Chain A
Amino acid sequence: MTSAKPTMIEFKDVHKYYGDYHALRGITATIQAGEFFSLLGPSGCGKTTLLRTIAGFEGISSGVVLIDGKDVAAVPPNQRPTNMVFQSYAIFPHLTVAQNVGFGLRKDPRSAADKARAVDEALAMVGLSGYGARAAHALSGGQRQRVALARALILKPKVLLLDEPLSALDKKLRENMQVELIKLQRQVGITFILVTHDQEEALVMSDRIAVMFEGQIAQLDSPERLYRLPKTRAVANFIGTMNFLSAQILSEAGGMVEVEVQGFGRLQLDAEKQVTGAPTATGATIGFRPETATLLFDGQQATDRETMATVEEVVYYGDMTYYDVLLDGTSAPVRLSMRNVFGRPVLDIGTRTRVGWSPGALVLFR
């Protein structure tokens, strides 16, 4: 990943302890100017703590945090070039919408009229023109979120920090806000850093994602690479579903790896594009996503390879059907997802069927 974009935030071996609890375990990463960056992980993985070290609400135990090239260890939150959208939105309930949005302008030397104009512009940017005089506590969840965004963006921060901003919204509103946030980020062009536990949200919105487990970054990559070539089985399972088959590495030569895979037989894989993880002495695994293999219905020809299998479980989802099938020569079922195109039957449990697959879609974890 080389990029011409300048670095906005840099973590160098950041550790954070709460008493004996080791919350951040050596975070080293860079976030570029103008990118939409997500911190993704299960609850308790340290993603919110990491975000709060950028905002300045958490001190760090060791390491360095640089914002725009400056060590911010001694800079309090009210002097950092970052602003935050809180998970609860933290809208001041005793102030109006305009007073909330203009809160950070108190020490701004501009005239009151200029400040009022800035507030109006900020409200217009988040689609709340005309809401300025309303009482903040009378707003809906979606409106609160927009006020929180306007309030943070009006200060023209170098970095906007978003702490699970969509988690309190219902599904439809959340999906709309995802698109709006992407548009807003392109419009203002500043760095957005989003904390989320929702892998779909991270995939949809981000330029790059850092997947975190237990205080460490497990993988930092573009959404597409994260999905296609996860570094570990844990990352693969956190982002979508992946099937695993045990494998044995036979030889490595000329950029190709030869493996013997349970159920799939002997295969050649591209060492550059299909092999992931650091070499270990024991147990390699092959992984593939449910949508990369397919059930072959009557007369359908496999595009590449095919293997016989038995249907063990059928889960009908309307537009999709998930099949758990046991490939011949394996001991545990794998999951396949099939689009329910018109005229295609839903198979019964116990049906013998052919499964079409392609060696190019496999990933080798070693």
Chain B
Amino acid sequence: MSEPLKRPRFWGSQAASGLALISPTALYAILLLAAPLAATLVYSVMTDGYLTVIPHFQLCNYIGECHSQLADGTMSPDGYLGAWSDPIVRTLMARSLFVSILVTAATVLLAYPVAYFVSFNVAPSKKALWLFMITIPFWTSYVIRVFMWNVMISRTGVINSVLQGLHITSDPLQMSFTIQAMVITLAHAYAPFAILPIFVALEKIDRSLLEAGQDLGETRFTTFLRVTLPLSMTGVIAAVLIVFIPTIGDYVTPNLIGGGKIPMIANMIEKQMLKADNRALGSAIAVSAMLVVGLVSVVFLALNRRYLKGPK
């Protein structure tokens, strides 16, 4: 039979070329993302030594009472509570989760009609322009945007001065330092993250399916419920996750809008990492927050799994 062939090396092997090409980027992500995330996990089960972390395994950063190790090697008599045992952390965690869920719900519900409008009611040549218009505010400084909300809702702020100037209210409304204000600010910040995935899902829907729905006796509204909405659920699910997950980690909004009076879990992490300098506890709180977020996301995906089946 034929002898082993000299194949043209011109194209090389797909896998080798692909791996070689992606390796700098992949290596960067492994060294500066995967490794640090793994390190966080490791830190969370070690002993705090004030400015350092001592490689001594323990779980008290999560459960029970923990003691930091002092510079002379002895344990500090003043203990602190682990992330799951500390009622403050639990309160903050519950509040963060609550706010994140509210923000996600508000963002996605507010965003859906906008995505629907751009996908169905805007001429194809103008869609890109609309999307561009929607994304512009998102690309401007986050700190300034959050602060501007504070300016608008504060006691002497824009909204109150307008209301009082028009004699609609006599006393300034208390809007600052409320959870509602935080929800509005965050819903504003994550708007494009919700609109874009829903828009993409809506764009993929074959328009003749909607005509088929109406041809088969459905009204426009029932067609929306029975055809459009189920088909766009992949986008809604993506939007929910892409808003929900990062929201948990926000600490700018609680600081500026909440005035530090309604701290969230991210503020706690920031405090432990930067100010209190208990990196073992900070890591444990961060890992716990990600666990909670991950768990909620998995449950959410499981509840909606019927929408995710079928060809991609």
Contacts and interface: CB of A to CB of B under 8 A. Distances in A.
Is A–B contact present in the complex under a CB 8 A cutoff? yes
A60 B5 CA distance: 8
B8 A59 contact: yes
B6 interface: yes
Contacts of B8: 56, 59, 73-76
A337 B174 CA distance: 88
Q: How large is the interface on A (under 10, 10 to 19, 20 to 34, 35 or more residues)?
A: 10 to 19
Interface string B7-49: 1101100000000000000000000000000000000000000
A67 B5 CA distance: 17
A344 B73 CA distance: 113
B10 A73 contact: no
A61 interface: yes
A61 B10 contact: no
A77 interface: yes
A57 B11 CA distance: 8
Contacts of A177: none
Contacts of B6: 73-74
B74 interface: no
Contacts of B1: 62
B2 A63 contact: yes
A64 interface: yes
B10 A77 contact: yes
A62 B5 CA distance: 7
A77 to B, nearest CB: 7
A73 B2 contact: no
A180 interface: no
Contacts of B5: 59-62, 73
A194 to B, nearest CB: 24
A13 interface: yes
B70 to A, nearest CB: 62
Interface in A51-91: 56-57, 59-64, 73-77
B10 to A, nearest CB: 4
Contacts of A63: 2
Nearest to A78: B10
Contact of B10 (A60, A64, A76): A76
Interface string B184-206: 00000000000000000000000
Nearest to B4: A62
B193 to A, nearest CB: 33
B94 to A, nearest CB: 52
Nearest to B5: A73
A62 B2 contact: yes
Which of B1, B7, B8, B11 has most A Cβ within 10 Å?
Answer: B8
A307 to B, nearest CB: 49
Given A62-B2, A63-B2, A56 B10 contact: yes
B7 A59 contact: yes
A76 B6 CA distance: 12
Contacts of B7: 59-60, 73
Nearest to B10: A76
A21 to B, nearest CB: 15
A344 B10 CA distance: 64
A223 B204 CA distance: 45
16 contacts: A13-B2, A56-B8, A56-B10, A57-B11, A59-B5, A59-B7, A59-B8, A59-B11, A62-B1, A62-B2, A64-B2, A73-B5, A73-B6, A73-B8, A76-B10, A77-B10
Interface of B: 1-2, 5-8, 10-11
Interface of A: 13, 56-57, 59-64, 73-77
Q: Which 4 A-B pairs have the closest CB atoms?
A: A76-B10, A59-B7, A62-B2, A74-B6
Given A57-B11, A59-B8, A75-B8, 8 more contacts: A56-B8, A56-B10, A59-B7, A60-B7, A62-B5, A63-B2, A73-B5, A77-B10
